[in-house]
Amino acid sequence: MKIYNTLSAQKENFLPPGSQVRMYVCGVTPYDESHLGHAMFAIVFDAVRRYLIFCGYKVTYVQNITDVEDKIIERANTLGIPARALAEKFANKFFEDMAALNVLKPDIIPYATEEIPKMLEVIKGLIDRGHAYVANGSVYFRVKSMPDYGKLSHRTLDSMKSGARVEPGEEKEFPMDFALWKAAKPGEPSWDSPWGKGRPGWHIECTAMALKYLGEQIDIHGGGQDLIFPHHENEIAQSESFTGKKPFVRYWMHNGLFQLGDVKMSKSLGNIVTIRQVLEKYSADAFRMFILGSHYRNPLTLSEEAIEAAERGAERLRQALANTGKAGSEKLDATTYRQKFIEVMDDDFGTPQAIATLFDLVREINRVNEKGLDTGEARATLKELAGILGLTLEEPEQTADDAAPFIELLISTRKKLREAKQFQLADEIRDKLAEMGITLEDTPQGTVWKRKK
């Protein structure tokens, strides 16, 4: 198996120390509904995790929740509620969305505010080793203390310095130094520390949680490409300076970013599409196929046509599973397709080619079914391989909303029957809808319908 390592900028043989794979993926900062960018990283690394498990590795998967951050504090203050309450609300909604997308739940889900003691331990260690310094109640990492700072993003300190700016109130030795601990400000949550009340910087949170739950050296660290710099760059600096061990991460994986047209999706730009909005129209299988139909390192542009095509593709896979063929006759051997699936997934998780292999298998299943041969084992292989990509291939549940146009048509027909004094037929429509769990209510503004609870 080969994985593209952002650190080396090339594909490398995946050679973890043993059968245990320690995997850390940066989670969400929950201050609003989860959007398609969240879905993209979650589905990508869910597929990576599932494939590693399929290959026989024991994976420990950690995904954090950043529940203290500027955006959370700002919105919580606007709403007049505690920051933790706001974060918990949207974190819970995020995991509901993940379940709806058939994303496996992480083995460990640390919340940043519950890991302050570990952060303080790391910060103190960095100060003691000369890698950090205290300034006016805040603590900053001294980037010049790490000679290879910039190795992940492939930048030099001189090039980074030209675009750096120092915020008012910051007392940095060097513009690129970054905050490990931020002195308390009015209206913000704060915790006690040896340097006074304050809160952790964003970067130290993931370092502390990765060290605590996975150890000083981990196998895979994942996240979006927008996290390479400064977040993951700073994680390396903190972690390797604290432990003295290199590498902190053996394989850095970064997924491409979700775009709407030519613009990256961003809450600050107001161009967000939520996961729930998509799942109101399309199945989870279709959306997963849309995401995985592009290689994880490539940017992905939202396209209704592409999701609709994925929906049709998902239905083709489901239909192939439903075609049972003739049991007991000559069997279709799916070994070649299974080997091809493994081959493309071994090449930096080539999910587009893996999906194409599923469709090749489906075509063969359908062809052999027409001859009346046994496709039972082949269909079992199809379901197994699809499951590695997180596809359930189950028929989506039909809801009353799916039938809304037909219900409206029946209501319109009922109205015309009533106007024609055909009350018996009108009542039959109402009664049949009631049997289906749809109640009608005649109001001065017209008839409205709703589902029975």
Across the range 123-128, mean pLDDT stands at 98
Q: Is the pLDDT of residue 80 over 80?
A: yes
Give Cα separations from 146 to 99, 205, 244, 269 (angstroms): 41, 19, 11, 35
Backbone angles phi, psi at 440, to 5 degrees: -105, 145
Q: Is the pLDDT of residue 240 over 90?
A: yes
CATH number of the structural domain 2-268 = 3.40.50.620
pLDDT of residue 406: 77
Say what angle helices 351-370 and 284-292 make with each other, to 10 degrees.
120
Q: Is the pLDDT of residue 276 over 50?
A: yes
pLDDT band at 223 (very low <50, low <70, confident <90, very high): very high
Q: Is the pLDDT of residue 115 over 50?
A: yes
Q: Is the pLDDT of residue 73 over 90?
A: yes
Q: Is the pLDDT of residue 419 over 50?
A: yes
Give Cα separations from 19 to 52, 185, 331, 385 (angstroms): 10, 46, 35, 21
pLDDT of residue 370: 75
Across the range 95-118, mean pLDDT stands at 97
pLDDT of residue 436: 76
Domain boundaries, the chain: 2-268, 281-388, 404-451
431-440 pLDDT tens trace: 888 877 788 8
Across the range 285-305, mean pLDDT stands at 95
Task: Name residue, tokens 């201050």.
Answer: 31
Percentage of the chain beyond pLDDT 90 is 72
CA atoms of 59 and 57, how far apart (whole Å): 6
Cis peptide before 230 (omega within 30 of 0): yes
pLDDT of residue 453: 45
Across the range 147-170, mean pLDDT stands at 82
CATH T-level fold of 281-388? Four Helix Bundle (Hemerythrin (Met), subunit A) (1.20.120)
Across the range 245-255, mean pLDDT stands at 98
pLDDT of residue 166: 65
CA atoms of 198 and 190, how far apart (whole Å): 5
Q: Is the pLDDT of residue 105 over 50?
A: yes
Q: Tell me, yes or no, if the two domains 2-268 and 281-388 fold the same way.
A: no
Contact 180, 132 (CB under 8 A): yes
352-403 pLDDT tens trace: 999 999 999 999 988 887 777 778 899 999 999 999 999 999 877 654 455 6
Q: Is the pLDDT of residue 299 over 80?
A: yes
Whole-prediction pTM value? 0.85
pLDDT of residue 321: 87
Q: How far is CA 219 from the centre of its chain?
A: 19
179-220 pLDDT tens trace: 999 999 999 999 999 999 999 999 999 999 999 999 999 999
Across the range 121-135, mean pLDDT stands at 98
User: In the predicted model, what is the mean pLDDT of the chain?
Assistant: 91
